[in-house]
Structure 1
Amino acid sequence: MFRDRFWLSLVLTLPVIAYADMIQMWLGYTAPAFPGASLIAPVLGTAIFAYGGWPFLVGAVAEIRDRAPGMMLLIGMAISVAYVASLAASIGLFEVEVWWELSLLIVIMLLGHWMEMRAIGQAQGALAALAELLPDEAERVLPDGTVTTVRISDLSVGDVVLVRPGGRVPADGTIVDGSADLDESMLTGESTPVTRGEGERVVAASVSTDSSLRVRVDAVGDDTALAGIQRLVAEAQESKSRTQLLADRAAALLFYVAVAVAAVTVLAWVLLGDPDAALVRSVTVLIIACPHALGLAIPLVTSISTAKSARNGILVKDRLALERMRDVDAVLFDKTGTLTEGQHAVTGVAAVDGDEDGLVALAAAVESDSEHPLARAIVADAAQRGVTVPAAGTFRAMTGRGVEATIDGRQVSVGGPALLRESGVRIPEELGERVAAWQSRGSAVLYVLSGEGMLGALALEDQVRAESRAAVAALHRLGITVAMVTGDATQVAEAVAADLGIDEVFAEVLPEDKDSVVADLQRRGHIVAMVGDGVNDAPALARADVGIAIGAGTDVAIESAGIVLASDDPRAVVAARTLSAASYRKMIQNLWWAAGYNLAAIPLAAGALAWAGFVLPMAVGAVLMSLSTVVVALNAQLLRRVDLRPGRAAVG
């Protein structure tokens, strides 16, 4: 609405400004004369007032009805007084017409509100991103065993659905046939796929990585876990939308001041016996109260800071989030995909014969045909080491245990504790201490076995980002408490926290509890910034005072956050704080200048110095009002000189 009205009002305003006597005098030109040229300002000015000013007039009425004066009422009062005064001047009933000021005021206000309203619709975007995690269709297994494709909306509790390898579970349910490793990271934050078998529950949107499943549907629609997360996101974003803007508070103050001074002005000049001056002076007061500069004080700074942050990899979606960032005293990081890479890597190798490269090559040969995330990590490690991976044949996946293949005539298998128990092989004494250390950290340990027994073991962990340690240290230097929340096991979380020097750890946390963790920190008096990238982070991102999403994360996390980091570098959180402080400083300076000008000019317009022979003319007041807008605009431009790189370098 504001965008469309801005562009049309701008087009109509250009002729009004071009034919304004004052503008022609300033710029030293004479506009072409033609019959009816004198009607350009009244006709176009009326159209601008009716069309461009309509949202502000409606908003003013709403604020009057709610008894909560703010920017809309101040703008509505100002443009109404300016319109009536200009119309009266055009027909010879008043002293000065301010058509061009009226038109320019409306255009500037439309531009400011357009900037402010671009963030509207975040909740719809977040909920849409959540819904997209679910497949559109499901394969329903009929009583006779045949499979038919149906829409998700047609599923009912009790239906049995087939989930193929690589497919998403369409609804919450219980496995009735089969077992598979399920990737639930989008919902639980658990970085390692979880093995689920018959009788165990699965949640909608989780992915079967390696095998087919038959799932009996237990919950559909609004009863699913995913729908619960949707509700949390919607509620959190709704609660945040009630935040009041600082400019509105300034506008409310200015409204009361302007109305009070105008009333006193009328009374004073009438008592002095000059009713004509009472009318002129009071109208001048109300027109000078037009919040030209005030309307741009915050939106212009926000626009510049948003553009500047984008060039530094910080995307500001919610202007209030950037303003609040300067007050944050606790940063809550999600672990997986934020402080860590979100992908497993081989972190330890122990070979019975001491040949670690040979063990990795052998394991990579067995895992080369597997699509399991841990298998891909082993193959990637072999490539990084530059070892030659031998050819493998007769590959076979052993669900829940591991994989096996034939290499150079001998059978080699790779798997976890279940494979070890089934084979009856014991961990050699020389490997026991290292394996125990890996397990105490929560590492995923895979064993390489052959006919002669155990050949060795590999430890795999979700890799900590190289920049995470520096980011945590920089936040500590700023006096900020750093916490971490994750769905991973306690020992995994504590190992990462110890590496990074994190103050507080929340481990084995369910999606709804992540939201509760933020609420708990807030109840303790903290102003919380939440940094995450997964669907399970969305409610916490929305509930936090500032939600910061890693740009490589899911769409819903990005939609739920106020700030999005385009890269995976958590050090950008420090840069965001630097920008927040600089932006807020400019906002306050602009507000003081904008409101300060009005508060200083209003008494002069009322005739406070008339006893000394000075009365601020309406035209001069209008000019000064425009100059105050220029000052605010120039001051906002100084924000471009703030260098965010030292903040990044300081933590690098």
Structure 2
Amino acid sequence: MKHQTHGHEDSGAADPDTHGQAMPTDDPTSVLDPDQHEHHGQGTQHADADHEVHVHGEHAGHSTAMFKNRFWISLILTVPVVLFSHMFAEIVGYTPPEFPGSMWISPILGTFIFIYGGAPFLKGGITELKSRQPGMMLLIAMAISVAFIASWITTLGIGNFNLDFWWELALLVVIMLLGHWMEMRALGSAAGALDALAALLPDEADKVTDAGIETVPASTLAAGDVVLVRSGARVPADGDIVDGSAEFDESMITGESRTVARTVGETVVAGTVATDNAVRVQVTAVGSDTTLAGIQRLVAEAQASSSKAQALADRAAALLFYFALIAGIITFIAWLLLGSPDDAVIRTVTVLVIACPHALGLAIPLVIAISTERAAKGGVLIKNRMALERMRTVDVVLFDKTGTLTEGRHAVTATTTTGGVSEAEMLALAAAVESDSEHPVARAIVQAAAENQEATEFGYRGSGFSSMTGRGVRATVNGSEVAVGGPNMLKEVSLATPPDMTGTVREWVDRGASVLHVVRDGAVIGAVRLEDRVRDESRAAVKALQDRGVKVAMITGDARQVAEAVGAELGIDEVFADVLPQDKDSKVSELQSRGLKVAMVGDGVNDAPALARSEVGIAIGAGTDVAMESAGVVLAGNDPRSVLAMIDLSRASYRKMIQNLVWATGYNILAVPLAAGVLAFAGFVLSPAAGAVLMSVSTIVVALNAQLLRRIDLSPERITT
């Protein structure tokens, strides 16, 4: 299907030639909770039904609820395991309770914990082993498996070994489950973006038949069918209007903040909303052929192509795995050569068990959990842990213009008049005419007059309001007939811009602004400039990013002159203008092809593929569900300064991750050789019990160090010009 694009992505400036047309009500759809997207009928019909959900890292196939449930059950069972452990009792200095069968409590419950609580790690370890990419899962699986086998050997009295590691096995599983549960809470789901896209489509459609209007499942529509799209309803499939005309809210597809007039013969896209009138649409594309389905495919492809790089903790775990394995082999062979097979087993088991320190399982998740909490207080929702890690390496931040760097709504940014009337009076007259209109332009003019003290002092009120469709509006004000409208209105009444205003108006038009003229009693008395106003916060955000060595780029569907005007005002490094919705994704790829790491900030459905493609996708919280689901980070508000919070937090949390990994792995580097017996010649050998105690100390240090992240100030207000 040939998809026709209309106009710009919107500078926020109104189209003066649609001024005066009936205006839409608010979008009747609410922001949907992605966790509730279970039944959308038509939804899956418009996606590739067999799309693959890509979940990276060791958590593939695992859910937050699974880790949470296994943690709590394992924690409850760990209490008696530890309480009845003779090795733990010796460390702490107490006598375990004894009664008939008490000796089997730790082995039986420990076995259950190993099988139930350890299952995710055992399965993950096998997967990593098969893929030859050892990481955290394989390291944990090795430690708990060795502890499990050694503990049963001790429990059954096989050989002369004191390797009662049931308590250590239980604690290791519980702490690792806790760490992974905390980490999973920070992870986003790739499927969420596709679900949110599907949710834009209605479940049912009003099909026009010979017998009248029949409500049918939207999934049953076929090309050639005619459907009735009522005011406030979404278009169920791509098609052409065959009867009626209406203003359509296409923001979820194009990102434009203004509605677009559509009439007979023009194309409308599935998921868009008819805001003011009912129209009849002949379906031209359904299912995977629709524009929305195409965006879904782009999102899926971009998510599938994102980096498969292992997380920082996994890389450390991989090194520890090889270190422990080699150390274990050397230990076993060395003690065998020394003629002590019992010591060979004890020392090797101890090395392999303590090779996976508790601290390593908490080093990264603790930092992520605290970072996520701190970010939330600063208005930033971190959905993906890799987004947090990658943000510190970003070279360029690519902002979508409308609603991100700009306010996304019409505003009067300048006025001009002919001699004999002040700008305040001209504005007061225009506001009096527009006061009864709900058009965004009207609201902008009324607000500008309300903020101008001199204009309010006139106290003008209009009467006899009437709309000139597609041209403007008029009313009687203070005994005079006053009209406000665009170029078409002037042509209709055979008027031209007065010579003393011509230069100013031409300059406004050249920069891409919309211009409305004010006519009183048949004479042009002034004009107002309407634009999408740049946020004050945007200036501070751009400067602060550049001060941190990060380039700033802007992307928009607006005409080049509009984009360049905003770019120059903000001092942006690079501007992409005239970009079609489906091409935003390719602009991210273009930046990446230059060797740059990109953070994309956007708020519309058309931004979703670009958000998914970039190293870090940042969605504006006031945007669409799809944009938020495609992104790794969501900004709760519209303040672009919040991007700085992400960069500062990413850099600070990365430092904490490195520090925690040094503590966690540093313990191993020292403890493993001691447990292997390198100082046995001097009479010192690290016992299994002592190794376990040191492991706990390392965990405490890691936990305390992570808490220091709470001191970071992430409030947007700290970034000023």
By how many angstroms is 1:275 displaced?
1.1
Q: Distance in 1 between matches of 2:497 and 2:519?
A: 10
1:567 corresponds to: 637
CA deviation map 1:103-151 (0-9, x unaligned): 010001111122232355522222222223334444444468x544444
Contact 1:575 1:648 in 2 (8 A): no
CA contact (8 A) 1:330 1:482 kept: yes
1:374 to 434, 441, 448: 441
Bigger shift: residues 599-608 or 30-39: 30-39
The residue that corresponds to 2:325 in the other structure is: 259
Residue 68 of structure 1: which of 130, 133, 142 is its match?
A: 133
> Contact 1:483/1:502 (CA < 8 Å) preserved in 2?
yes
Map Cα deviations across residues 558-580 of structure 1 (whole Å, 9 max, x no partner).
Answer: 11111112222111111211111
Distance in 2, Cα, partners of 1:409 & 1:208: 38
Q: Distance in 2 between matches of 1:66 and 1:316?
A: 29
> Which runs of 5 or more residues in structure 2 are unaligned?
1-65
Residue 409 of structure 1: CA displacement? 6.4
Give how far 1:15 is off: 2.1
Question: Per-residue CA shift, 1:291-338, capped at 9, x if unaligned?
Answer: 321111111111111111111212111111011111111010011111
One-letter code aligned to 2:218: I
Residues 138/362 of structure 1: CA separation in 2 closer, same or farther (3 Å cut) = farther
- Partner of 1:333: helix, strand, or coil? strand
Q: Percent identity?
A: 63
Instruction: Note the 1:64-143 alignment, pairs <5 A.
Output: 64-93=129-158, 94-120=161-187, 122-142=189-209
Cα distance in 2 for partners of 1:156, 1:243 equals 43
Is the contact made by 1:597 and 1:628 (CA closer than 8 Å) also made in structure 2? yes
TM-score (structure 2 length as normaliser): 0.85
Whether the 8 Å contact between 1:189 and 1:488 is mirrored in structure 2 is: no
Q: Which range is displaced more, 512-521 or 285-294?
A: 285-294
**2:360 alignment partner in structure 1:** 294
Of residues 648, 653, 670, the one that matches 1:600 is 670
Q: Residue 240 of structure 2 contacts residue 265 of structure 2 at CA under 8 Å; is this kept in 1?
A: yes
C-alpha contact (below 8 Å) 1:191/1:488 kept by paired residues: no
1:541-560 matched pairs, under 5 angstroms: 541-560=611-630
On the 8 A contact 2:188/2:632 being kept in 1, the answer is no
> Deviations along 1:534-584, whole A, 9 cap, x unmatched?
222111111111111122222221111111122221111112111111100
Per-residue CA deviation, residues 367-412 of structure 1 (Å, 9 max, x unaligned), is 33433222222232233336335143353351x3333445566654
- CA shift, 1:596, in A, is 2.3
* Residues 334 and 531, structure 1, Cα contact 8 Å, conserved in 2: yes
Aligned with residue 282 of structure 1, among 343, 348, 353: 348
**Cα 1:374–1:150 shift into 2, 3 Å:** farther
Out of 293, 312, 336, the position equivalent to 1:246 is: 312
Q: Structure 1 residues 121 and 108 mapped into 2: Cα distance closer, same or farther (>3 Å)?
A: same
User: Among residues 548, 556, 565, which one is paired with 1:478 in the alignment?
Assistant: 548
Once residues 454 and 124 of structure 1 are traced to their aligned partners in structure 2, the CA distance between those partners, rounded to angstroms, is 56
**How many angstroms does 1:21 deviate by?**
4.3
Q: 1:23-45 deviations in whole A, cap 9, x for unaligned?
A: 55665665655443333212211
The answer to whether the Cα contact below 8 Å between 1:229 and 1:511 also exists between their aligned partners in 2 is no
Shift of residue 50 of structure 1?
1.3
- Going from structure 1 to structure 2, the CA distance change for 1:255 and 1:32 (only over 3 Å counts) comes to same
Q: Larger relative CO (CA 8 A, sep 6+): 1 or 2?
A: 2
| Partner SS for 2:557 | coil
Query: How far apart are 1:494 and its partner, in Å?
Result: 0.9
- Give yes or no for contact 1:209–1:372 (8 Å, CA) kept in 2: no
Query: Residue 390 in 1 paired to residue 457 in 2?
Result: no
Equivalent residue pairs, number = 649
Does the Cα contact within 8 Å between 1:191 and 1:462 map onto a contact in 2? no
In 2: Cα distance, 1:15 partner to 1:168 partner: 59
Distance 1:496 1:446 in 2: 20
The yes-or-no answer on 1:419 pairing with 2:494 is no
The one-character-per-residue Cα deviations of 1:162-200 (angstroms, maximum 9, x if unpaired) are 444444333322233444443333322334433444333
Q: Could you tell me which residue of structure 1 aligns to residue 689 of structure 2? A: 619
Distance 1:351 1:339 in 2: 30
Q: Name the aligned partner's letter for residue 426 of structure 2.
A: L
How far, CA to CA, are the matches of 1:434 and 1:257 in structure 2? 73
Q: Does structure 1 retain, via aligned residues, the 8 Å contact 2:411–2:448?
A: yes
1:359 to 426, 438, 445: 426
How many Å separate the matches in 2 of 1:382 and 1:222?
49
- Deviation string 1:275-304 (CA, Å, 9 cap, x unpaired) is 111111111111111232111111111111
Distance 1:422 1:31 in 2: 98
The root-mean-square deviation of aligned C-alpha atoms, in Å, is: 2.4
Provide the secondary structure at the position in 2 that maps to 1:548.
strand
Aligned to 2:147, the other structure's residue is in SS state: helix
**Structure 2 counterpart of 1:444, from 514, 525, 533:** 514
**In 1, Cα distance between the equivalents of 2:309 and 2:290?**
31
Relative to the length of structure 1, the TM-score reads 0.93
Determine the structure 2 residue equivalent to 1:649: 718
